[in-house]
Amino acid sequence: MICLDNLPLVVSADTGIDTDSYSWSTGSSETEITIENIGSYSVTVTSIDGCITISSFSVIESEQATIEITETVDFSDPNNITITISGIGNYLYILDDGEPQESNVFENVSLGYHTLTVIDLNGCASVTTEVLVIDAPKFMTPNSDGYFDTWHIVGIETLPGTTINIFDRYGKLLAFLSSSSEGWDGKYNGQMMPANDYWYVADVVQGNQRFQIKGHFALRR
């Protein structure tokens, strides 16, 4: 196998015995040859006693994948990622530290930033890219443990101009969030709101698109 980035390829049959002779299918009688083209090759090594050893091999081409596009469907449930590549090779796909898979589609992906890796089964270099899954978390736990202490759209930093209003079950406005503000801490007028479901309305600005999404999330204790 030849990685296209590694051409030319030097193949050696050197036995380390000075009296051995070499006959390659290319016509060379040297201990090694330089291969620049795919195809089938062989070498015959003959010892001074007439002992013959024949080795045959095929050279195929492969290359590192080129990532053409990664697609996420934001604000969807479940969240999926599709990666499209080009290249000469046999490839597997890895999401973060997960197991390699043949499919270029990852389903039920969690919110936030992820690393996608494409590996070539023939041993050529791998390639990685970072992907962001944007969506609204389904819960918050404001207990100061550093996990989900506040609520905000994950990836909001990539949606400048987006605004979110948060309401209680009776429609009372509890908080207003912008794309640059901190997430809601679960308080209203300095008082912690009880464990319950809360509703949001987000006016999203994503590139040239503007749309509104609505939903609810749980405040857990």
Residue 8's pLDDT is: 83
| Residue bearing the bigger pLDDT, 144 or 191 | 191
pLDDT at res. 185:
95
Contacts of 43 (CB under 8 A, 6+ apart): 13, 22, 23, 24, 25, 33, 54, 55
Q: Which helix (H) or strand (E) holds 3?
A: strand 2-3
- For the chain, percent of residues with pLDDT exceeding 90: 81
Tell me, what's the pLDDT at 83? 96
Report percent pLDDT > 70 for the chain.
99
Does the pLDDT of residue 3 top 90, yes or no? no
Q: For position 61, what pLDDT does the model report? A: 81
Region 193-197: what's the mean pLDDT? 96
Other beta carbons less than 10 A from residue 83's beta carbon: 23
Nearest to 90 by CA among 100, 105, 80: 100
- How many C-beta atoms lie closer than 10 Å to residue 16's C-beta? 6
**37: pLDDT confidence band, cut at 50, 70 and 90?**
confident
pLDDT reading at 2 higher than 70:
no
**Which residues share a beta bridge with 82?**
71, 105
Mean of the per-residue pLDDT values for the chain?
A: 93
Q: What is the average pLDDT across 109-124?
A: 92
**HEC secondary structure over 99-156:** CCECCCEECCCCCEEEEEEEEECCCCCCEEEEEEECECCCEECCCCCCCCCCECCECH
In this predicted structure, what is the pLDDT of residue 60?
Answer: 79
Closest CA to 20 of 50, 58, 65: 50
pLDDT digit string, tens, across residues 139-158: 999 988 888 899 999 999 99
Residue 1 predicted with pLDDT over 70: no
The pTM for the full model equals 0.76
Condensed to tens digits (0 to 9), the pLDDT of residues 62-92 reads 888 999 999 998 898 889 999 999 998 899 9
Beta bridge partners of 11: 33
Looking at the domain that runs over 139-219, which CATH code has it been given? Answer: 2.60.40
92 CB neighbour count, 10 Å cutoff: 17
The H-or-E segment that residue 165 falls in is strand 163-167
Q: Measured between alpha carbons, how far is 197 from 219 in angstroms, rounded to an integer?
A: 6
Mean pLDDT (whole number) for 37-51: 93
Cα–Cα distance between 127 and 207 in angstroms, integer? 27
Q: Looking at residue 156, what is its pLDDT?
A: 95
pLDDT: which is higher, 219 or 124: 219
